Amino acid sequence: MVQQTKSLINRLGRIEGQVRGVRAMVEQDRYCIDILHQIQAVKAALAKAEDEILKTHASHCVAEAIASGDEAEQRAKFGELVDLFAKAKR
């Protein structure tokens, strides 16, 4: 799991750099379409980071709740996922 965390931190660092790059493009009054292309790249990179975190959550936190046999914990983890996906639809 340590390697996954390092990978995620590296990915987030690259995204941070991309966002700074978008800001610089705006400050330099670059062509709108070029800025929009970079914003799409940032959104795609964030989606990949989100997918990684979701997979980790499912394979660890949710799996542990299932293995525990604790119905309240299982419901809580399921409820978290339902709430997350409901927010994503908005």
| Exposure class string for 36-64: b at 16+ Cβ within 10 A, else e | eebeeebeebeeebeeeeeeeeeeeebee
Write the pLDDT tens digit of every residue in 23-41. 999 999 999 999 999 999 9
Residue 43 pLDDT greater than 80, yes or no? yes
* 5 vs 34: which has the higher pLDDT: 34
pTM above 0.85, yes or no: no
What tokens does 26 get? 């705006």
Domains (range + CATH), the chain: 2-89 (1.20.58.1000)
How far apart CA 1 and CA 56 sit, in angstroms, is 9
Q: How confident is the model at residue 88 (pLDDT cuts 50, 70, 90)?
A: confident
